[in-house]
């Protein structure tokens, strides 16, 4: 009898200990949750746990919620080996930035930050297209000249709906870009929606190493014997201003009768680059005004040392001309220094600054908007050409360039060129 009782007691003890441990654990967990809940109640009541009064709980945020969730996950998540803390941290920061719903304010991981700087230096791997986020949809700003995207027929204003068959509507721009990018030689399939088309279009694009020459230039002889200089500025990168200056000085040796400056499909870049380039063509005047959220606008003026201050000039723009390209075109248009030919520009009139963060990451933040010398808000208006000339997809495929032809005719004749605009 005694032995039976002892055996029974010994068998019951581990069960009792287990139950007790579970109850103690639950009690600790409940207290921990209660602490977080109390902090939240204090937060929304207008004070912190230390008693500090928060004047406006909607604006002054207590970060205890995030760290409380972090601790709970570390202590209680069933599969701690799956907790990739660095990715979790990047995800938290990215989510906070993404909640602003500003496609140009973006947190960049070290890899994304490196790719961003590589793109400004003119080298990267992928399909070669600048994208933006508009109303929750990924929209093509412009394919890079000579890139796989351009050769495959991707066009400005195309809306990317799927990547490799996966629906990307509602995803962040960074997430979509990550899916599109990939090693040289691999293929990505894009399903796009294009204005004027009744059905979705599927493009197979083979990724490649993208080298973007900032500047290309040549001489164009006209039927009347005049010599027109042509400069295509493909991006505002690290060396773009220096390369453009070298091209312009080389062309100016040929007794030019006119100049065509081409920023079609140029998605922009550094603000300083746009100011320096406008200074090549104006002896005085304002280039752009930068309006931050407080204070008076900051005005940027030309340097006063033009290289080609008097030569007749045309600037070519299209739907893929954005950002710094619009600053250049808008300034020269407002000062009546150049005639703008082509199609209405993209309309990106905000300024972003890049702040480096620990570990190689960074954040690109919209800090201001810019206005042309005449006070036009480029975000709402874009740049409207003086002479509207369409260049269709068929024109591009057949290597016809009615916009360039219009520019040459205007420079030769010195008068407006009338073209029927195709909608």
- Please, is 17 exposed, middle or buried when counting C-beta atoms within 10 Å of its C-beta (0-12, 13-18, 19+)? exposed
Q: Which of 325, 352, 361, 362 is catalytic?
A: 352
Q: Which of 171, 286, 348, 369 is catalytic?
A: 348
352 is catalytic: yes
Distant-in-sequence, close-in-space partners of 298: CB < 8 Å, separation ≥ 6: 289, 290, 291, 292
Q: Can you read off the two tokens belonging to residue 398?
A: 């057949």
Find out whether 355 and 365 touch, Cβ atoms under 8 Å: yes
∠ at Cα 275 (217, 129), nearest 5°? 60
Evaluate whether 293 touches 321 at the Cβ level (below 8 Å): no
Told to judge if 204 belongs to the known catalytic residues of this protein, a careful annotator would answer no
CA 395 to chain centre: 28
Q: How far apart are CA 373 and CA 223, in angstroms?
A: 36
119 is catalytic: no
Length of the chain: 423
Active site residue: 235, 323, 325, 362, which one? Answer: 323
CB of 234 closer than 8 Å to CB of 266: yes
> What is the C-alpha separation between 298 and 286, in angstroms, rounded?
11
Pick left, alpha or beta for residue 309 (phi over 0 → left; psi -120 to 50 → alpha; otherwise beta): alpha
For the record, the structure tokens of 77 come out as 């998540």
Listing DSSP states for 81-119 in one string gives GG--HHHHHHHHHHHHHHTT--TT-EEE-HHHHHHHHHH
CA distances from 356 to 177, 265, 270, 364, 365 (A): 21, 28, 16, 9, 11
> Are 370 and 290 spatial neighbours (Cβ–Cβ below 8 Å)?
yes
Interacting residues of 56 by C-beta distance below 8 A, sequence separation 6+: none
**Residues tagged active-site:** 323, 348, 352
């Amino acid at each position: 009898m005694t032995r039976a009782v002892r055996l029974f007691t010994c068998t019951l003890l581990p069960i009792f200990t287990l139950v007790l441990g579970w109850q103690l654990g639950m009690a600790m967990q409940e207290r921990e949750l209660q602490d977080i809940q109390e902090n939240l109640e204090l937060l929304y009541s207008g004070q912190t746990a230390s008693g500090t009064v928060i004047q406006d709980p909607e604006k002054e945020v207590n970060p205890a919620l995030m760290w409380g969730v972090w601790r709970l996950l570390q202590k209680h998540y069933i599969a701690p080996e799956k907790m990739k803390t660095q990715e979790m941290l990047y995800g938290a920061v990215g989510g906070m930035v993404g909640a602003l719903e500003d496609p140009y304010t973006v947190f960049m991981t070290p890899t994304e930050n490196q790719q961003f700087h590589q793109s400004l230096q003119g080298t990267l791997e992928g399909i070669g297209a600048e994208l933006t986020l508009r109303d929750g949809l990924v929209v093509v700003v412009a394919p890079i000249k000579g890139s796989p995207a351009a050769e495959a027929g991707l066009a400005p204003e195309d809306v990317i709906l799927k990547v490799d068959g996966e629906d990307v509507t509602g995803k962040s721009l960074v997430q979509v870009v990550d899916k599109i990018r990939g090693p040289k030689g691999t293929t990505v399939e894009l399903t796009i929606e294009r204005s004027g088309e009744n059905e979705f279009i599927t493009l197979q694009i083979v990724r490649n190493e993208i080298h973007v020459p900032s500047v290309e230039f040549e001489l164009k002889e006209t039927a009347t014997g005049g010599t027109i200089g042509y400069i295509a500025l493909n991006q505002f990168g690290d060396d773009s201003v220096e390369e453009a200056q070298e091209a312009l000085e080389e062309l100016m040796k040929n007794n030019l009768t006119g100049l065509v400056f081409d920023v079609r499909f140029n998605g922009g870049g550094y603000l300083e680059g746009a100011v320096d380039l406008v200074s090549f063509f104006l002896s005085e005047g304002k280039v752009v005004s930068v309006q931050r959220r407080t204070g008076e606008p900051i005005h940027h003026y030309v340097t006063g040392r033009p290289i080609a201050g008097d030569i007749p000039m045309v600037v070519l723009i299209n739907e893929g001309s954005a950002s710094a390209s619009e600053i250049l075109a808008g300034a020269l248009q407002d000062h009546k220094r150049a005639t703008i030919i082509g199609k209405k520009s993209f309309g990106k009139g905000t300024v972003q600054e890049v702040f480096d963060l620990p570990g190689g990451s960074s954040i690109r933040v919209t800090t201001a908007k810019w206005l042309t010398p005449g006070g036009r808000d480029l975000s709402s208006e874009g740049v409207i050409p003086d002479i509207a000339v369409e260049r269709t997809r068929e024109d591009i495929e057949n290597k016809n360039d009615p916009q360039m032809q219009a520019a040459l005719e205007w420079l030769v004749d010195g008068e407006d060129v009338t073209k029927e605009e195709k909608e």
